[in-house]
Structure 1
Amino acid sequence: MNLEFANVLAHFVRTLPTAYLVEDALTELVDNSVDVLGLTGGSISLVSDGELRCVTTITDVSADIERCQESLQSGPGRSSYDNGDVTAVTDIRQRADLWPDLASQARQLEIAAAISVPMMINGETIGVLSLYSDGPRIWSTDETMLARIVADMATGYCVNASKRHQFQQIRTQLQESLKVRIILEQAKGIIADARATGIDEAYVLIARHAQSCNASVSTVARAIVEVGLRV
């Protein structure tokens, strides 16, 4: 493996466990990969309702070629998504038989070679990494392997960000549940003192009042603690 490329990957492996904006991480990953491999541009598209939608591009020409593919839902990226495998094209401009509109656009943009790699998790394709060259290029086995590694790294960033978001949601839910339990305990204590009764009996009174008002126990408990409601 190219030493410079290995250093790039090492940097992103170290970044993965940290807090990051996924859009920024993907852009930096593609940018560094394009530089190391000496390419013209690159992009990442993610699947939305069965269609590929570009989320990050490097250079204006790669943005233009991606807009064309997104509009047509046709090209190396779409083929890679549909087939679940690498689509390597030596010269898009010469493939009017497959993608006539895209071939014409590639000639205008001076984009020639392209390689698209599916981003997969558990057999499901969640997106596609595409890399571009301004000259015809027969993609070597090593280059294909490196493109696969970049796609896997991009997938890791997306999945990790999703898990981090899910964890934050769960943590928020648990924190809210804890707050509700604390307020309920406070409410039971207040009612127990006011009624000179036990904690269990106080809960029964709170629950009965909640049922009669068609409200939740937590809502009544909060009203007892914060508003001064008595039941």
Structure 2
Amino acid sequence: MAARDGALTAALMRLVDTLVLEYDPVELTQDLVDASVELLAADAAGLLLADGGGTLQVFASTSEETRLLELLQIQSAAGPCLQAYATGEQVLVSDIDASAQRWPAFAEYAGRQGFRSMCALPMRLHSERIGALNLFTTATGAFSAEDLRIAQALADFATIGILHARLLADSLTVNEQLDTALNTRVIIEQAKGMLAERAGLDMDTAYRKLREYARTNSLRLSELAHAVVDRTVDLNGITGHA
């Protein structure tokens, strides 16, 4: 148990390393499937993530056979992985051969690759689901309750990392937009001051004339403000003063 706990800690530390600085979701998910095979009674692992439209895509796998098996589930729109993603619940298949009636294409291909059991673990946080982690073995009934607990913990850890990175990316976008808006606001203030000084207007009147000129000439206010500051537009034409 101590050896396994140490290996789990090491695996989590590797996953943490992929979340700092240059975050790469491909690297994170590949480390996740590799760690799953290393720590658990799994011979192969694969991971599917949903794209922006909610369609699952193969994102990482420990073998080409596993990747093709994941693709088969997507193409046939049936399989344990899709069920885990759709329901947010674990799907344990102790005997793949016995699931042939439910998922015939999946069971046939998995059997040809020598897999006899598998489990699909949802990648979800509360009600938000982003994909599923799939573990395959060549023995029937190979996964213990402890295996499933650790596998779900790994999947949950990666889920939090991916969602956090998405939130960070959104925040960066928002911050960039905010910076642009703040910079534009500074330029507008400069343009107001120039108009007010040129025509002897108060700042509110200068701003009103700036907006009126922009609307009349189908210009964006920010564009007009830049033109005023750069002196590429006639200031008297905006203020109405000769």
TM-score by length of 2: 0.86
| 1:80 and 2:84 aligned | yes
Contact 1:93-1:112 at 8 Å conserved across structures: yes
Q: 1:29 & 1:157 partners in 2: Cα distance?
A: 11
- 145, 151, 155: which one pairs with 1:151? 155
Structure 1 residue 38: Cα displacement:
5.2
| Residue of structure 2 equivalent to 1:181 | 185
Once the two structures are TM-superposed, the CA of residue 50 in structure 1 deviates from its matched residue by: 5.3
CA distance change for structure 1 residues 196 and 213 in 2, over 3 Å: closer, same or farther? same
Query: What's the counterpart of residue 27 of structure 1?
Result: 30
Hey, what's the Cα distance between the residues in 1 that align with 2:147 and 2:227? 65
Q: 1:82 to 1:220 in 2, by over 3 A?
A: closer
1:36 aligned residue: 39
The reply to whether residue 102 of structure 1 matches residue 138 of structure 2 is no
Q: Quick check: 166-175 or 135-144, which moved more? A: 135-144
Q: TM-score, normalised by structure 1?
A: 0.89
> 2:94 matched to which residue of 1?
90
Gaps of 5+ in 1: none
The alignment status of 1:5 with 2:8, answered yes or no, reads: yes
User: Are residues 178 and 78 of structure 1, via their aligned partners in 2, closer, same or farther at CA, if it must alter by over 3 Å?
Assistant: same
SS at 2:134 equivalent: strand
Aligned pairs, how many?
231
Q: State the percentage of identical aligned residues.
A: 27
Q: Is the 8 A contact 2:41 2:142 kept in 1?
A: no
Q: Distance in 2 between matches of 1:64 and 1:141?
A: 27
- Which residue of 191, 205, 213 maps to 1:201? 205
Residue number in structure 2 paired with 1:162: 166
Where 1:223 maps in the other structure, the secondary structure is helix
Amino acid at match of 2:65: V
Write the distance in 1 (CA, Å) between the matches of 2:138 and 2:55.
26
* 8 Å Cα contact 2:93-2:119 kept in structure 1: yes
